[in-house]
Chain A
Amino acid sequence: MQQTTPAHTQRTAAPLSLLQKLPLIGIYLFMVLLCLFCLAPFIWPILSAFSIKPENVSGLYLYIPAAWTLKGFDDAIFGRGQALILLKNSLLTTVGGVGFAVIFSALGGYTLSRSEFRFKRALMYSFLLIQIIPATATILPFFIIMRELHLIDSLWGVTIGLTAGQIPFLLWVMKGFFDEVPKELEESAAIDGATRLQILWYVIVPLALPGLGAASVLAFNSAWSAFFMPLILLSSPDKFLLPLGLFRSIIGYTNIDYRMMNAMSIIYLLPSFLFFLLARRYLVRGMMAGAMAGN
């Protein structure tokens, strides 16, 4: 029998001394500080959304509340905010936009991963790089194109705009993760008579899932926070998206109802956050049941 015991069993055998535990404590400490850093800025919005501010105090800064209240949420949902309609609009456009983008990018990413054609490199790089021209420089022609297509002030217009915005990023990520899936698997499936689409859906996608999941979450977040393009494109209030609805907290010039604004922000971040929680199963393989490579 061998005398050398494998390293990992050696480690778990003996209890760790304090010195050995130190890196672990350090890591935990770092993570705790990071959590604090990430969460500290939320003190103000949460405080502001649920409280009544005392007199003579600006609503923008931290204060000791005069009282607690749900009026902010009341205003946001049932009052001037009309948050439910905004939420519906945001959900329709974002889910639609990201949905289309994911489908088109999955198909396209697969093609980019598996085929070679002459201008492939140029196409991929230019897709990525031309995004750098900021929206402020391109909003006018974009608007005119939308006008020609009769998509001004329409949720479909916003959806298509969001789709176009997310495709380049998704294409890249999907191609990257598809690249990691070995071609042999495809070939054996093809020999068994599967069509390209079936191969894509049943073989490739499950194996690339962490990457696809990550990309979808990021795309959702990005589309969810779209502000400038919908601002210019939409003019009917019943079509506005949530970020635009934040404006409704503005009462006059500089007088802002921070309470309602923060209440609406909290409503706003819930779907994106929920989507993230739902999708995190696909992000972390350890949390996924039974979808390991090689099946």
Chain B
Amino acid sequence: MSHDQKTAGAGISRRSMLRLMATATGAAVLAACGKSTGTATGDGANAEPIELTYMTPDRELGQKVDKLAIASFNERMKKEGKPWSVKGVPGPATDNDYNTKINVDAGAGTLPDIVSLGASVVADLAAGGALAELSDHINKWGDYAHVFPVLKEANLINGKNYTLPGSASTFTFFYRKDVLAKNNIKDTQPNTWDDFYGLCDNIAKAGVTAVCLPAATAWGGGTWEEGFRQVWMSFNGEIYSESEGKWVVSSPGLLKALTVYQTLAKNKWLTVDALLNPNPWEPTKYQMFPKGELAVCTGGDWQWTFDWGPTGATPIDGLFEKVGRWQFPSEDGKPFVFVGTGGGPAVSAKTKNLDAAWAFLEHMARADVSCEANKVYLGGPSGMDNFAELCPDYKTQVGGKMLEATQFFATGKILRNRVGESKIVDGIGRATEDVITLKATPEEAMAAFAAAMKDSLGADKIKQA
């Protein structure tokens, strides 16, 4: 029990002075809580030195990379005679707390000049007027031509850019090649879900747990990002209607997606118990998978480095020989990869100097700066199509897996972050949980999901398809 987290109130005594003070402060507070209109000054360099603040999550490796970028930027600005410099400000390390801080800062108008944002919060922050629009700067940016088209497209919110395009992650299945080989199971890419079920069946017969497909509420956003979203996208049909601004909450595609989960659970191919555990990635990705007791899991490029790489949570020896990737199967037999993007560094609407902020963003995207950063760690593919030429190390780092991933950009699918997504994600967590625990059939789960979304999103933001 922490008392400091509770707030206390008081009856007002007859002290008129107190009352006056209260009213005054109250008025000030309410006024301050009102609209925050930002004006981003875009004037050119003037003599007065400007220090911009740059916030990123306080994760060890990320912080190391930031320090390098900041140092090289400050040095360059000195050489070029510009009065701009950047100071790093670490924010909370966990996504939830980081986003909370960002939202409180945005609400109070104290957002740092430059912030690193996850894809899931950009849309709302932009709609709330907390971010500066970067479209002009980006369109004039020389390197923009080298950004992969799919990333350019995914970065636009209502046709405008609010973050620097270029950071992305490809999401696929990851599987143990050696476990399959040992049990004489052919590991060809499954093109349809039936192919996938066949694989699961063979794996299970060999006495190995087949697959961990994130589901249920314990995994939080991961259920959607690493699992359900892709499964839903593997079936034909709308998920979000741009023209109407509505989420689909009931459709044949959604039903089929939930049925996939039911099939996996019923046949005991899915790690149901582990998924209901807090921190469900611990028993699955960090215990069973490295030991070879689990054959398939999902995730993105970061796993090569953060989960199973030499400096990862549970390193796997001979990682690149033992682990392979499968694209997600789909209804029409054309497997696909999901390209997660749309996040990245953004600039506050109230920044001291927009040009200065842009200069830093542009600096971070430069090939030589990225190349240096990658020596500290490489957690995802580069969004520039010419990066391998400019930075030869990239070809062989992390077993060349990051470069390999960029092939997927051409055929990858995207689903832009849209307002209200957090509620959908929450609903899906509950729906999948009911399905995998066999508490509800897919039909029942979908009906409950639709009702819950109608309640929380509002009837005008949902539709049937």
The answer to the question of B20 belonging to the interface, with a C-beta cut-off of 8 Å to chain A, is no
A165-B92 contact in complex given A117-B13, A126-B10, A252-B379, C-beta closer than 8 Å = no
> Are the C-beta atoms of B60 and A80 separated by less than 8 Å?
yes
A58 to B274, CA, bound (A): 13
Q: Interface segment, B123-131, B308-316, B325-333, B382-390?
A: B308-316
Interface stretch of the complex, out of A43-51, A144-152, A195-203, A282-290: A144-152
Q: A56-B290, A144-B29 are in contact. Are A168 and B8 (CB under 8 A)?
A: yes
Q: Tell me if A235 is interfacial: C-beta within 8 Å of chain B.
A: yes
* A253 lies within 8 A of B33 (CB): no
Asked if A165 and B3 sit within 8 Å, CB to CB, the answer is: yes
Residues from chain B with a CB closer than 8 A to the CB of A55 are 290, 314-315
Looking across the interface, which residue of chain A has its beta carbon closest to that of B62? A252
Q: State whether B58 touches A247 (Cβ < 8 A).
A: yes
- Complex Cα distance, B14 from A166, in Å, reads 24
| Residue A103 interfacial (CB < 8 Å) | no
B25 beta carbon closer than 8 Å to chain A: yes
Cα–Cα distance between A253 and B300 once the two chains are bound (Å): 12
Q: Does B407 contact A (CB under 8 A)?
A: no
A130 touching B8 by the CB < 8 A rule? yes
Q: When the two chains form the complex, which single residue of A119, A138, A141, A222 contacts B2, counting CB atoms closer than 8 Å?
A: A222
Query: Is B89's CB under 8 angstroms from A236's CB?
Result: yes
Query: A232 and B104: CB pair below 8 A?
Result: yes
- Residues of chain A in range 91-139 having any CB-CB distance to chain B below 8 Å: 117-119, 122-123, 126-135, 138-139
B439 within 8 A of A: no
A122:B11 contact, CB within 8 angstroms:
yes
Q: With A58-B314, A141-B29, A247-B58 given, is the CB distance from A254 to B281 under 8 Å? A: yes
Chain B residues positioned under 8 Å from A229 (CB to CB)? 4-5
- Partner of A119 from B8, B11, B29, B60 at Cβ < 8 Å: B11
Given contacts A57-B314, A123-B11, A131-B8, contact A166 B3 (CB under 8 A): yes
Most buried by A among B8, B92, B104: B8
Q: Which of A119, A130, A161 contacts B12 (CB 8 A)?
A: A119
List 3 tightest A-B contacts by C-beta distance, closest first: A130-B9, A165-B4, A131-B6
A residues contacting B by CB (< 8 A) are 55-61, 80, 117-119, 122-123, 126-135, 138-145, 147-148, 152, 161-162, 164-169, 219, 222-223, 225-229, 231-232, 235-237, 244, 247-248, 250-256
